[in-house]
Amino acid sequence: MASGDLTRGRLGMTGIRSSEIAGVHGRRIWDSRGRPTVEAEVELRSGLLGRSIAPAGASTGSGEAVDRRDGPRDATAAFAGFDVTGAVGAVNGEISAALAGMDVADQTAIDATLVELDGTRDRSRLGGNAMIATSMAVAHAAAAAEDVPLWRHLCGSENGALPLPEIQIFGGGAHAGRRLDVQDFMCIAVGAETFGQALDWTAEVYRAAGELLADAGRLAGIADEGGWWPSFDDNEEALHWLIRAIERAGLEPGEQMAVSLDIAASEFGSNGRYTLACEGRALDTGEMIEKLEGWIARFPIVSIEDPLAEDDLQGLRTFTERVGHAVQVIGDDALVTNAKLVREAAAAGACNAVLVKPNQAGTLSETRAAFDAAAAADWGAVISARSGESEDVTVVHLAVGWGAKQLKVGSFARSERMAKWNEGLRIAESLPGGGELPPRASFPWGRR
């Protein structure tokens, strides 16, 4: 739809409340890595708008919805081939035409229309980026039509609840030049009583970690999600420094502030072989599991994501069997926010929690299905942003509205991350509990 139509719709129909979609407008904007991304605006006949922006991953699972990029993926191409004019064109053309006239309140029917229109298994025709931006914009427009915040629209008559934040302190892997093999060294404020207190504590740990690294001449920069990019000699060193930072912040490791890791093992492992470049050695699945078990025994680790590669289901199973009673074992690359894969993994005993990233699925309804599959299996669920982000705060509303209990959006720096933590603080003010966190006993680490 042309922008002229948008203006005409807005001015011509002012005052008319209708949840009928007039059209969808796509535009190319820029993400936190300075790469093009898709923004979609769903406009209603009433003139109300819902807007959302597609995020982008760097360490992606092979089963994810695929972003549509112009290509070719070549350093000499414009924006190294990452441009999204095709995906934006799909929003303005086919998607807008298909959704015009639909009721924005019927997210299920709209998402089914998008899936059918795309017609591919991996969403490559319209583009996962075009689809998720549209699908999330639909939810925002539906909330606008109801005149409520998105979280309220999503939880209906239930009371929303703030999630426990999982916040990156050191970044490695694909987000920091692979200086460390492990991708995310994170903190979880397991002893915090409110969302605000969890952020207060994490701010102190983030600051302490930066000061410690700078004093020791080990600070190499900032990773993609805002965490410190350290120059450590091996992965385990990062764990020691993280504990030191927690202590320097005046917090008790394990009791108040625990450690969480995203190993992102598919980035350095396949076929049962894990090449730890920064340690200069390769491990088989058994050795990798032993290494992680050693870390769990020596450090206050409560959650580990992608401990083994996406093609190592047996390894994930063995690992879950050995540590799953006490530690949250999250599947990201292996489960790619896919309800069927979550059900299969739960039946096989591989993992006990899922990372929920809307753009892995392609639509909000499919994202919700994966979340529901996790709940049905009595699994945990962590709503997550991507390493390529923007000012879009939809994931925070999903976590609150769906009662997800946990939220991961990267570190405690850079506005694309802080926009989300800050949105949580705003929402906390409107909740009856004022941002009270779920009780410790409701998490796997609280039950050991």
**Catalytic residue numbers, as ranges:** 225, 357
386 sits near ligand 2PG (criterion: CB under 6 A): yes
Beta bridge partners, 23, equal 43
Residue 405 binds which entry of ligand 2PG, Mg ion, none, with Cβ cut-offs from 5 to 8 Å by kind? none
Which residue lies nearer to ligand 2PG by CB, 24 or 398? 398
Residue 294 in 3-state DSSP?
helix
> Which one of 2-10, 79-87, 146-154, 384-392 is the stretch in contact with ligand 2PG (CB under 6 A)?
384-392
Enter the tokens of residue 287: 């050795």
Hey, CA dihedral for 5, 7, 11, 13, is it positive or negative? positive
Q: Which does 169 bind (CB under 5 to 8 A by kind): Mg ion, ligand 2PG, none?
A: none
Other Cβ atoms within 10 Å of 300 Cβ, number: 21
- The reply on whether position 266 binds ligand 2PG by CB under 6 A is no
Instruction: List binders of Mg ion among 254-293 (CB under 5 A).
Output: 262
Choose the one of ligand 2PG, Mg ion, none that binds residue 111, judging by a C-beta under 5 to 8 angstroms depending on kind.
Answer: none
| Residue 294 beta carbon to Mg ion: minimum distance, rounded to whole angstroms | 21
Which token pair is 101? 């006239």
CB of 300 to ligand 2PG, least distance (A): 21
Closest CA to 362 of 140, 7, 38: 38
CB of 441 to ligand 2PG, least distance (A): 26
Q: CB of residue 275 vs Mg ion: minimum separation in angstroms?
A: 18
Give the pairing of strands 406-411 and 164-171.
parallel
Single-letter amino acid code for the residue at 154: L
Name the residue type at position 66.
V
For residues 62 and 60, give the distance between their C-alpha atoms in angstroms, rounded to a whole number: 6
Query: Residue 352 Cβ, how far from ligand 2PG at the closest point, in Å?
Result: 17
Tokens of 188: 């979880």
Binder of ligand 2PG out of 166, 310, 332, 366 (CB under 6 A): 332
111 binds Mg ion (CB under 5 A): no
Q: Which among 52-60, 208-216, 239-247, 371-379 is the span making contact with ligand 2PG, rule CB under 6 A?
A: 52-60
Select from 67, 204, 312, 332 the one that contacts Mg ion (CB under 5 A). Answer: 332
CB of 309 vs ligand 2PG, minimal distance in Å = 13
Number of residues located near ligand 2PG, criterion CB under 6 A:
14
State the nearest-atom distance from the C-beta of 355 to Mg ion, in Å.
6
**Residue 58 contact partner, candidates Mg ion, ligand 2PG, none, CB within 5 to 8 A by sort of partner:** ligand 2PG
- CA–CA separation, 282 vs 268, rounded Å? 10
Which two three-digit tokens encode residue 343? 């059900």
The residues near 112 (Cβ < 8 Å, ≥ 6 apart) are 365
Q: Applying CB under 6 A, which part among 43-51, 207-215, 380-388, 392-400 lies near ligand 2PG? A: 380-388
| Closest to 262 (Cα-Cα) out of 173, 351, 361 | 173
Q: Which is nearer to ligand 2PG, 56 or 144 (CB)?
A: 56
> Using CB under 6 A, which of 41, 262, 366, 423 touches ligand 2PG?
262
CB of 181 to ligand 2PG, least distance (A): 13
Toward ligand 2PG, which CB reaches closer, 92 or 183? 183
Name residues contacting ligand 2PG, limited to 58-77 (CB under 6 A): 58-60
Distance CA 141, CA 394 (A): 12
Site string for ligand 2PG, 340-369 (x = CB under 6 A): ---------------x--------------
HSE (side-chain half, CA atoms, 13 Å) at 65: 31
Site for ligand 2PG in 169-188 (CB under 6 A): 183-184
User: Is 382 in contact with 355 (CB distance < 8 Å)?
Assistant: yes
| 64 near Mg ion, judged by CB under 5 A | no
* Contact range with ligand 2PG by CB under 6 A, out of 51-59, 243-251, 343-351, 365-373: 51-59
Size of the site for Mg ion (CB under 5 A): 2
Contact 333, 316 (CB under 8 A): no
* C-beta separation of 263 from 306 below 8 A: yes
264 binds ligand 2PG (CB under 6 A): yes
Query: 392 with 52: CB under 8 angstroms?
Result: yes
Strand order in the sheet with 269-270: 269-270, 273-276, 281-284
Q: Name the token pair of 174.
A: 């694909």
**Is residue 351 within 8 Å of 334, Cβ to Cβ?**
yes
Listed in order, strand segments (DSSP E) in 216-270 are: 219-222, 228-230, 258-262, 269-270
Check: CB of residue 358 under 8 Å from CB of residue 367: yes
- Point out which residues bind ligand 2PG (CB under 6 A): 57-60, 183-184, 225, 262, 264, 332, 355, 384, 386-387
- Point out which residues bind Mg ion (CB under 5 A): 262, 332
